[in-house]
Amino acid sequence: MDWIHGLDPETRSALVMWLYGPAGSGKSAIGRSIAERCYEEGILLASYFFSRSDPTRNHGGSFIATIAYQISIHFPDIRDHLIGTIHRDPLIFTRSLDAQILALIVEPMRDRIDAGYFNTTDIARLVVIDGLDECEGRENQVKILTVISQALQQHRLPFIFLIASRPEHDIRSTFDVGYFREYSTRIVLDGDYHPSADIRLFLQDKFTDIQQIHPFREYLPPMWPSREILQTLVDKSSGQFIYASTVIKFVQSSRHRPHQRLDIVLGIRPVHREMPFAELDGLYNQILSSVDDTESIRRILALQRFSLGPTITVNRMEELLSLNKGDISEILCDLASLIFKNDNGQLEVFHNSLWDFLYDQARSVKFCVNDPVLRAELGRLFVHYFKSKHFLIC
């Protein structure tokens, strides 16, 4: 909000803020909250929330048109201009994004732009774009960023853009070069914001609601859930709200007893037809499916999990798997929202719950690493590797 209001001298010149973080870290919740607050203050110009599961919002085809429509709501006097543009070119919505932003946004706003209407921070000039990584096609994601960059540079579009996404390879690469590198700022949702404390508060609040209003609250055990269980859930969340949110959605079902549902989550009670982590599983499957080489992903993740020590480096993994230096970074470049290489050159996952998913064949299916054949293969690789090193030493 300091950036939006121009109160932070370090970011005052930034026309774009990139809010990014791992999958399920709360980017969309923040985007909605910012949009709602700025709408109440009268400074939200437009917003667009991509959604992979919504066929009307999982592509860039309606992006410019939706932004233009919302701008026309805010500035009714440009509607005649827009209507005239559409009458002259009925196919405008099928044109390139460059042509659309010029015809539907830049030209209708030209008089205000030239008059300096947007030169202050207390008028509507914020555009919120959430879930850019959920726009189908990596080239389309980059194209949207390129169109925004060109509009800001070439047409002096005086808007500011809050863009939220996962740190996907192509999106990050675009922000790291050229215009965006110079005129954007960024916020990463990491451990610096102490998310575990917020997640604990969220869980406590939701469990209190269940204790007070759930139809089967009279059957709840006393002092439920215990501190130990609460801490287990916080630890499993690994700073990502989506795990905690998924647990609560499953536990608070009005047709079941909450403590029994929580036992299923914790693995204390057997799972029958229940799918406590359906939402989380869908997210993990969607991200992992974005990578073409599924088998290499399985081998790398299995090696990370079942290696002889937790400190195995990426370089050592490449040696064990007979890969060239840099191969693992390339293979994993589209999984930046799930796994990363730390400063010591080792792989780490953002979510502890990812291992639970990868262990369970019923949940992860083709991505499952808990496979005896795969583990035997890795064992042979270890033996071969150490034999070769011993031979070289002798």
CATH number, residue 71: 3.40.50
First to last CA, the chain: 64
Distance CA 235, CA 82 (A): 52
* Same domain, residue pair 202 and 244: yes
Give exposure, 306-335, as e/b (b: 16+ Cβ within 10 Å): ebeeeebebebbbebbebeeebbeebbebb
**Tokens 């980059």 found at:** 142
Range of the domain at 239: 195-269
Tens-of-pLDDT digits for all 394 residues of the chain?
999 999 999 998 999 999 999 888 889 999 999 999 999 999 999 999 999 889 999 999 999 999 999 999 999 999 999 999 999 999 999 999 999 999 999 999 999 999 988 888 889 999 999 999 999 999 999 999 999 999 999 999 999 999 999 999 999 999 999 899 999 999 999 877 788 999 999 999 999 999 999 999 999 999 999 999 999 999 989 888 889 999 999 999 999 999 999 999 988 887 777 788 888 888 898 889 888 888 899 999 988 887 655 578 999 889 888 899 999 999 998 898 889 888 889 898 888 889 989 999 989 999 999 888 888 888 888 787 777 665 444 3
Encoded amino acid at 318, one letter = E
254 assigned to some structural domain? yes
Tell me which of 171, 189, 207 is where a domain ends.
189
278 assigned to some structural domain? no
Distance CA 256, CA 263 (A): 12
Tell me which of 167, 189, 211 is where a domain ends.
189
Quote the number of domains for the chain: 3
**Tokens 């009279």 found at:** 218
3-state SS class at 161: strand
* Same domain, residue pair 66 and 94: yes
Q: In the chain, which ranges are continuous DSSP H helix? A: 2-5, 27-41, 63-74, 79-88, 97-101, 110-114, 138-154, 169-175, 178-183, 195-213, 227-237, 241-251, 258-266, 278-288, 294-306, 314-320, 327-331, 353-359, 361-364, 372-393
* Same domain, residue pair 209 and 259: yes
Count Cα neighbours of 23 within 13 Å in the Cβ-side half-sphere: 27
* Same domain, residue pair 98 and 120: yes
Encoded amino acid at 125, one letter = R
Q: How far is CA 255 from CA 211, 214, 217, 250, 251, in A?
A: 15, 10, 12, 11, 10
The per-residue pLDDT for 304 is: 86
Distance CA 23, CA 374 (A): 27
* Same domain, residue pair 184 and 297: no
- pTM score of the predicted model: 0.84
* Same domain, residue pair 261 and 296: no
The per-residue pLDDT for 121 is: 82
354 assigned to some structural domain? yes
Tell me which of 189, 212, 227 is where a domain ends.
189
* Same domain, residue pair 175 and 250: no
276 assigned to some structural domain? no
263 assigned to some structural domain? yes
3-state SS class at 344: coil
